[in-house]
């Protein structure tokens, strides 16, 4: 006796018995592709969150050294260096005098740019790069 299809008692239509396995294989394949895509998206999201967190920490370090250097009473004391071993960053402040001429044609004395640069120590050691990772600056008037 040969039976290629079974009969569903509620619908009286023959149901193919071999398609269940094929449907399960297709469903698992679609699920695997979807999970693989979500995993790569999650990995990229975590990488960008870590990059943003590091960038925010570097900016806080720049701001802290900028505030500290700006509060020094003498120009000579404004040049500072600080190292953050957790981030592997070095912060350096420099003071540069601006050469401005006012409306009367006289030079403005005592106006400076206080600049703080953040350098990645790991990148400097690995590639020999001396380019700053980030820079913050502010005008300072010390007559």
Determine contact, residues 78/84, Cβ cutoff 8 Å.
no
Q: Which two tokens stand for residue 38?
A: 């979500």
Residues in the chain: 143
Determine contact, residues 89/61, Cβ cutoff 8 Å.
yes
Q: What percent of the chain has pLDDT over 90?
A: 57
How far, in Å, CA of 95 to CA of 93, rounded? 7
Q: Identify which of 80, 77, 75 has the alpha carbon closest to the alpha carbon of residue 92.
A: 80
Mean pLDDT of 11-33: 81
pTM: 0.69
Report pLDDT digits (tens) over 38-74.
Answer: 999 999 999 999 999 999 999 999 999 999 999 998 8
Average pLDDT over the chain, rounded to an integer: 86
Q: Is 89 exposed, middle or buried (0-12, 13-18, 19+ CB in 10 A)?
A: buried
Cβ neighbours for 101, distance < 8 A, ≥ 6 positions apart: 107, 108
Cα dist. 106→33, 98, 103, 109 in Å?
Answer: 71, 13, 7, 9
């Amino acid at each position: 006796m040969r039976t290629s299809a079974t009969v569903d008692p509620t619908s009286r239509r023959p149901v193919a018995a071999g398609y269940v396995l094929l449907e399960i294989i297709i469903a698992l394949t679609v699920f695997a592709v979807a999970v693989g895509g979500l995993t790569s998206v999650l990995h990229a999201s975590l990488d960008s969150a870590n990059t943003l967190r590091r960038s925010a920490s570097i900016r806080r370090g720049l701001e802290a050294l900028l505030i500290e250097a700006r509060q020094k009473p003498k120009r000579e004391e404004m040049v500072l260096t600080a190292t953050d071993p957790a981030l592997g960053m070095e912060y350096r402040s420099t003071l540069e005098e601006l050469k401005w001429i006012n409306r009367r044609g006289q030079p403005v004395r005592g106006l400076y740019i206080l600049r703080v640069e953040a350098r990645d120590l790991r990148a400097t050691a690995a590639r020999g790069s001396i380019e700053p990772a980030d820079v913050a600056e502010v005008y300072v008037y010390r007559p």
